[in-house]
Structure 1
């Protein structure tokens, strides 16, 4: 990989790692579902008028929007609101890699290798340890909502594979924007039903600079810049070369949340975090190791 593209990968990791701090800050002033809705409004307009619809069917586009946008982001925003530290959220979200594997094996009949199962086992133990550590800033509801968000991401990844099979190459940015557009109305309705009109009125009448700054970061930096650069890397290199950058995301998330928000994790949460990182490393990079090369099996 070219040095310039390595730098781009690191920029994306930093942008997405800081994304969890922006969410935490924004949730102090704006209800979670409303914050997600506004994120996609700002992401989509006015840029959607200049981007053609991606060359995939409306059915697949709606399915992607429901899982990757509405499901993933609403669950993680609500989860962080009810009790999930930003750093741990950035870590637990990466369990999407294992949900992607499981759904791909069941739905598409994809093959698994020794590193997938070993990584899943190690990371699963780490997830169980973290789940058992209630108290402090983490609640049971917060943990499981963020885990459900990761599951939505995993399902969305598999839908993405099916939706883009045989489709000519197209800009990732157009897909991000059109998926966001389709999520706006259902998210707005959900916010009105669950959070109420008064929450909308309060956010409109008394905006804060931190809330506005958070929203701008989430929509323009994390969404448009982050996914735009990531899509550029995927267009130049195989996913196996690009995906290892994601291993650094929890490192950035945990470090930045500690420095900026003063978050602390317990000893057992730290052990669980290390196990998840180890499992992710084996899952992503283990296929290139010599161990178990002949153990590939189809499910």
Structure 2
């Protein structure tokens, strides 16, 4: 194996671990920040700033930053409304009622929901028996989270889990709706436009919800939460995501969703003293098994296949 290839493999693992930490801790940062800032304005401000930074990066580094034609404008609009706007609106509203680690577990259902939505909307993506089994495991995991003890149900927690579930569903719908469109717009440029459009939709949602800027409490903790979510989880996190997507492909990068709940649990215990209940762990295992069944072929290839990749652009060197 070449030294450069070995370096690339190890650096990919390091980037993956960094992204898991940045995105896993974001669930806790959201939970903390919501004590001081109304949810939709909080999410909107975060992505307005992050979108501006990513947009400047796209202009400086990409060969094209402006969408052209109906398809590309549809893609950035769908991404903005679903992948940024609706996803974060439901997530932030849900985290008013459930902890960050619970939200991270529910969000890990996203790849399974994406397959289900694709099956419903795209004729070429029908689910087989294995896929249905995987979807079933995922739904069982969510049910375990919602109702660990039917005699002690808390309405607030149920509503919180449902809202976060709608967040995952929004991301799944957005991911599927963007597939039929052909676009040569660089990913970083599309993400910048999606962030800015999503931020605008979140501000509109906040106004319709009756949120007030007067309710914002400017404290060191609120500022730290906002800066971390905007620049570390947002800007740096998405740039890492693009790099890993290019290196590993969409199936492997989906595995990041199963590292996030672990990071969120550890961070929540360390920072805010939350202890995750056993039902959350059971729910997470069920969702992870569901993903493994659903993507069994791709995961098997990712874990087992050790055949050197040819034409990877790195010459072999002893």
Instruction: Tell me whether the two structures share a fold, i.e. TM-score over 0.5.
Output: yes
- Equivalent pair of 2:134/2:292 in contact (CA under 8 Å): yes
Q: Are residues 137 and 281 of structure 1, via their aligned partners in 2, closer, same or farther at CA, if it must alter by over 3 Å?
A: farther
Q: Deviations over 1:204-246 (max 9, x none)?
A: xx41111111111111111211111111121233323333333
Instruction: Name the residue aligned to 1:293.
Output: none
1:34-53, aligned counterparts within 5 Å?
34-49=41-56, 51=59, 52-53=65-66
Deviates more, 1:104-113 or 1:71-80: 104-113
Tell me, in whole angstroms, the C-alpha distance in 2 between the residues paired with 1:150 and 1:142: 13
How large is the Cα RMSD of the aligned pairs? 2.4
Instruction: Name the residue aligned to 2:228.
Output: 217
Asked if 1:186 is matched to 2:201, the reply is yes
1:18-167, aligned counterparts within 5 Å?
18-49=25-56, 51=59, 52-54=65-67, 57-81=72-96, 83-109=97-123, 110-133=125-148, 139-163=157-181, 165=182, 167=183
Q: 1:229 aligns with which of 227, 240, 246?
A: 240
Instruction: Name the residue aligned to 1:168.
Output: 184
Tell me, in whole angstroms, the C-alpha distance in 1 between the residues paired with 2:13 and 2:259: 13
What's the offset of the Cα at 1:135?
Answer: 5.4
Deviates more, 1:246-255 or 1:227-236: 246-255
Instruction: Name the residue aligned to 2:22.
Output: 15
Mind listing any 5+ residue stretches in structure 1 that lack a counterpart?
A: 291-299
Tell me, in whole angstroms, the C-alpha distance in 2 between the residues paired with 1:149 and 1:243: 16
Q: Please state whether the residue corresponding to 1:45 is helix, strand or coil.
A: helix
Larger Rg, first or second structure (1 or 2)? 2
Q: Deviations over 1:149-199 (max 9, x none)?
A: 000011111123223x3x3362x3322221111123332222123234xx3
Q: Please state whether the residue corresponding to 1:162 is helix, strand or coil.
A: coil
Instruction: Name the residue aligned to 1:195.
Output: 210
Q: Deviations over 1:13-59 (max 9, x none)?
A: 11110010110111010010110111112112355245313565212
Deviates more, 1:118-127 or 1:236-245: 236-245
Q: Are residues 151 and 84 of structure 1, via their aligned partners in 2, closer, same or farther at CA, if it must alter by over 3 Å?
A: same
Tell me, in whole angstroms, the C-alpha distance in 2 between the residues paired with 1:28 and 1:128: 27
Deviates more, 1:44-53 or 1:183-192: 44-53
Mind listing any 5+ residue stretches in structure 2 that lack a counterpart?
A: 1-7, 60-64, 302-318
What's the offset of the Cα at 1:271?
Answer: 2.3
What's the offset of the Cα at 1:114?
Answer: 4.7
TM-score, normalising length from structure 2?
0.80
What's the offset of the Cα at 1:61?
Answer: 1.4
How many residues align structurally? 282
TM-score, normalising length from structure 1?
0.85
- Equivalent pair of 2:31/2:95 in contact (CA under 8 Å): yes
